[in-house]
Structure 1
């Protein structure tokens, strides 16, 4: 696995982990009436989603650059 792909996968896993942990904290906060814990969970979940979107954008940019390099090399 290339270094970029390995880092991308690691970041995607971290994003998913944040979403799952955030949801657990949110549910815990709701169940116990702890509004602070619930808010922390929501924030962590949003952070996880943002990490996923960032990785998707990075992947798209990398693919576009790679495609452009191939086109230039053909000329």
Structure 2
């Protein structure tokens, strides 16, 4: 796992917490902010997945 994957997952979790708090308190703006954080985290995780796949394919076999 590379740093982009870790940061992406972390951002998704923070977004889920923010969304849940917003939903529980009826604060629509906070709920939307959580949704945006989750989307950003997913994007970053996918970028990390791509980097990892490229790294795996460029390694020379032993």
The TM-score, its normalising length taken from structure 2, stands at 0.83
Give the aligned partner of residue 46 of structure 1. Answer: 39
Kindly name which structure, 1 or 2, has the bigger radius of gyration based on alpha carbons: 1
- Higher RCO by CA contacts (8 Å cutoff, separation 6 or greater): 2
> How many pairs were matched up?
61
Instruction: Identify the match of residue 22 of structure 1 among 15, 21, 29.
Output: 15
Q: Unpaired segments of 5 or more residues in structure 2? A: none
Structure 1 gap segments, 5+ residues each: 71-75
Over 4 Å off, 4+ runs:
none
